[in-house]
Amino acid sequence: MKFVMSYSCGKDSTLALHKMIEQGHQPVCLLVMINEEADRSYFHGADRAMLELYGEALGIPMILCPTAGENYHLAFEEGLRKAKSMGAEAAAFGDIDIEGNRQWEEERCKNTGFVPYFPLWQKGRQENVYELMRLGYKCLIKSINATILPKEILGEYIDDASIEVMESAGIDICGENGEYHTLTVDGPVFKKPLSFQTGRILEFGDYAAIDIHC
C-alpha cells in the first residue's frame, strides 16, 4: 500500500518508516509539521534547510505543514489531503503506547479518508530503542529535559553509554514522556547519511538543545 509517513525526523518515526517499508508498503511522502514562529519542525527542531537535506537523504518527498499551533489539526489534515493527491492511501505513525495520541491521529485519518497504520504499537519502549541500535540507526540526542538529564549527552548518539546515563537518571530510555528528543541522521532507510554540524548548547528554561545545522 502507498502511504504517507507522519515524520518528525526522530527515532520513533524513522523506525516506523523502516517497519512499513519492511512490510512491503511504499512511501509516497513524509508529512512534517512546522512551528510557524520558530520556522522549525515541531518537537525535534529541524530547520527548513535541514529538512530539505532529509528529503534528499531519504529519497522521499516532504510535505511541510506550517502552523502556529491553534490550527495544528487543520494543518495536519491539509497535509494528508496533499499526500492523497500524490497517491497515498494510508498514513503511518510512530506512536508506541499513548492512547490519546493514537486517537487524535485516527480522527485526522477518518476526516481525510486514510487508513491509519501504527507499526510500533505496543512493541515495548525499550525494545524499540535496542532495535534501532541493532539495525544500525544513528540517532543524535538533540534536546533534553535538563532537570533530569545532563547536558553532556547533547550531540551524542543513542548507544550503550548514553543509555547508561539515562538509566542512571531513572528515566524511560525511549524518552516517550519528553525526557529527550532525537534526530536520526543515518541508517538502513537512508540513501545517504545526513550531512550536518553541531554548534553550541542553547537553554530554554528547564530544557536544553544543541544547535544542529547544515
CB 144 within 8 A of CB 182: no
Tell how strand 197-204 and strand 180-186 pair up.
unpaired
Q: Give the pLDDT confidence of 68-81 residue by residue, as tens digits.
A: 878 999 999 999 99
Residue 65 is placed in which grid cell?
505543514
38 pLDDT exceeds 90?
no
Does 110 score more than 90 pLDDT?
Answer: yes
CB atoms within 10 A of CB 59: 11
CA distance 181 to 141: 6
- How does pLDDT run across 114-151, given as a tens digit for each residue? 999 999 999 989 999 999 999 999 999 999 999 999 99
Closest to 94 measured CA to CA, from 9, 185, 200: 9
The pTM score is: 0.95
Task: Locate 7 and state its grid cell.
Answer: 515524520
